Amino acid sequence: MMRLVLIGTSHHHAPVELRERVALGRDEAQALAARLAEGGREAACLSTCNRTELYVAADDAEQAERDAVAALASLEPDVEPALYRLQDRAAAHHLFRVAAGLDSLVPGEGEILGQVRLAHELGTTGALLDRLFRQALHAGRKARAQTAIGQSPASVSAAAAALAEQVFGSLEGRSILLLGAGKVSDQAARNLGSRGAEITLAADSKTDRDRIREQLAEVDVVIASTNAPGLVLDAATVADALRLRKGRRLVLVDLAVPRDLEPAIGELDGCYLYDIDDLEQIVVETLSVRRREAERAEAMVAGEVEKFHEWHASLDVVPAIASLRARAEEIREAELQKAESLLGRLDESQRRAVEAVTAQIVNKLLHLPTVRMKEAAAAADGVLYAETVRHLFGLGEDER
């Protein structure tokens, strides 16, 4: 039976400066998987900003592990102490948790499911890894469909978008004004954009107040994230703009520290002002909810892992079961052939009845042994059962 081997590192074990040195692009991941799959193996590479993992199915698990470790060490020698090494059920459990978002920095993040799917597509897979990745993807989708692990905003940027949508009901066609530029404001803009908003105007902290006042009269959402030492937008400037808005609501999100927006803006009619503390509190509450949902998702994943383990373990006994059934069928047909002189007197319907009865006897005799062998496989002593059956019934002796 082929064994499953996992070698990898992640944000739990290695800092970003180490992870980035073993990160692999699409073509590199595909090429590495193909190299590890030489000699009749199967291999797949999962590489994201938070993890690089190699999955290998091989008859010789120890050699497969050595080769996978060497492959990552060739990219960065210092990575070896940060590698984790898992096999069989533990390796499958890890991938199922990864696909469900349970091993992510933010529980339930959805991007990882697509990354697992890509690793499967780029891998050199066979029966074992194909089954593994398909069931992992199923487990990931099930966790998201049947729990709320990925439904609430779990970052400051996502919380900003959620609050804006709450104010307007829908962000479709709403316009955004960016004050300042950088990673945080870009992430907020992307979150708003994913909900249908449009970034039609932009400004930085050096833009004059008259220009900002004109923009404030047109937009629906303001995202402020500058490095300015003082306020970029005060209540008086916003009050002037409100006269031109004719009662339209304005959402302002201050992501800067120190703050860009004067707190008094929140007291103006029609203005909804949120600062970084407001957003972080939402994130804290959200993560608490996600962790509770993660407990439910863990139970689902465990159930899916058990199904995979039973299938994988049954591979030890399936050949013995097939051989036993083939031997029984061979004996049944031989005995019917011996009785041909008698059976030849029967009409077609009677012949079919004899065939059916003898086949049913064989199936009933073999049913319980088949069930017990599969149960034994899941309990880890299936190999012993399989060898015992082969010995008792002389299976394979003709070939030897």
Render 134-155 in DSSP notation, one character per residue. Answer: HHHHHHHHHHHHHS-TTTS--S
- More confident call, 313 vs 132: 132
Note whether residue 131 is domain-resident. yes
Tell me: pLDDT of 384 over 80.
Answer: no
Note whether residue 274 is domain-resident. yes
Per-residue confidence band for 247, with pLDDT thresholds at 50, 70 and 90:
confident
Tell me: pLDDT of 210 over 80.
Answer: no
Per-residue confidence band for 228, with pLDDT thresholds at 50, 70 and 90:
confident
Q: What CATH number did the domain enclosing 266 receive?
A: 3.40.50.720
**Domain housing 202:** 156-283
Listed ranges 12-21, 73-82, 173-182, 253-262; the one with the highest mean pLDDT: 73-82
Neighbouring CB atoms inside 10 A of 64's CB total: 25
Q: Under a CB-based contact definition with an 8 Å cutoff, are residues 251 and 216 in contact?
A: no
| Average pLDDT for 366-374 | 81
Per-residue confidence band for 304, with pLDDT thresholds at 50, 70 and 90:
very high
Tell me: pLDDT of 205 over 80.
Answer: no
User: Amino acid letter at 124?
Assistant: T
What does the pLDDT read at residue 393?
Answer: 78
User: Is residue 140 domain-shared with residue 165, that is, in the same domain?
Assistant: no
Bridge-based pairing of strands 250-254 and 271-275 is parallel
* DSSP conformation class of 81: G
* DSSP conformation class of 202: E
* Cα 216 to Cα 261: distance, rounded to the nearest angstrom: 13
- Residue ranges in the chain assigned as alpha helix (H): 16-19, 26-36, 61-75, 88-99, 111-122, 127-146, 156-168, 183-194, 209-216, 235-245, 276-314, 318-338, 340-343, 348-378, 382-393
User: Is residue 142 domain-shared with residue 179, that is, in the same domain?
Assistant: no
User: Is residue 103 domain-shared with residue 162, that is, in the same domain?
Assistant: no
Residue that terminates a domain, selected from 283, 305, 338? 283
Our measurement of the distance from residue 155's CA atom to the centroid of its chain's CA atoms, rounded to an integer in Å, reads 19
User: Is residue 266 domain-shared with residue 370, that is, in the same domain?
Assistant: no
- The number of folded domains in the chain is 3
* Cα 45 to Cα 236: distance, rounded to the nearest angstrom: 56
Task: Please report how the helices 209-216 and 235-245 are oriented relative to each other, as an axis angle in degrees rounded to 10.
Answer: 40
User: What is the pTM (predicted TM-score) of this model?
Assistant: 0.62
Listed ranges 108-122, 179-193, 195-209; the one with the highest mean pLDDT: 108-122
What does the pLDDT read at residue 250?
Answer: 94
User: Is residue 161 domain-shared with residue 270, that is, in the same domain?
Assistant: yes
Measuring CA to CA, which residue among 300, 293, 296, 287 is closest to residue 106? 287
| Average pLDDT for 327-336 | 88
Question: For residue 387, what are the contacts with CB-CB under 8 A and spacing of at least 6?
Answer: 320
Note whether residue 70 is domain-resident. yes
Tell me: pLDDT of 282 over 90.
Answer: no
Mean pLDDT of the chain: 85
Residue 160 burial (CB < 10 Å; 0-12/13-18/19+)? buried
User: Is residue 263 domain-shared with residue 329, that is, in the same domain?
Assistant: no
Residue that terminates a domain, selected from 146, 172, 199? 146
What does the pLDDT read at residue 323?
Answer: 82
What does the pLDDT read at residue 238?
Answer: 92
Task: Please report how the helices 88-99 and 276-314 are oriented relative to each other, as an axis angle in degrees rounded to 10.
Answer: 140
User: Is residue 19 domain-shared with residue 65, that is, in the same domain?
Assistant: yes
Residue that terminates a domain, selected from 128, 146, 164? 146
User: Is residue 43 domain-shared with residue 140, that is, in the same domain?
Assistant: yes
User: Is residue 22 domain-shared with residue 139, that is, in the same domain?
Assistant: yes
- More confident call, 374 vs 19: 19
Per residue in 135-170, pLDDT tens? 999 999 999 889 877 765 556 777 778 788 878 888
User: Is residue 276 domain-shared with residue 168, that is, in the same domain?
Assistant: yes
Q: Is 49 among the residues known to form the active site?
A: yes
User: Is residue 95 domain-shared with residue 184, that is, in the same domain?
Assistant: no
Q: Which residue, chain included where needed, has tokens 């088949």?
A: 370
User: Is residue 116 domain-shared with residue 176, that is, in the same domain?
Assistant: no
From the list 39, 40, 49, 292, the catalytic residue is 49
What does the pLDDT read at residue 400?
Answer: 43
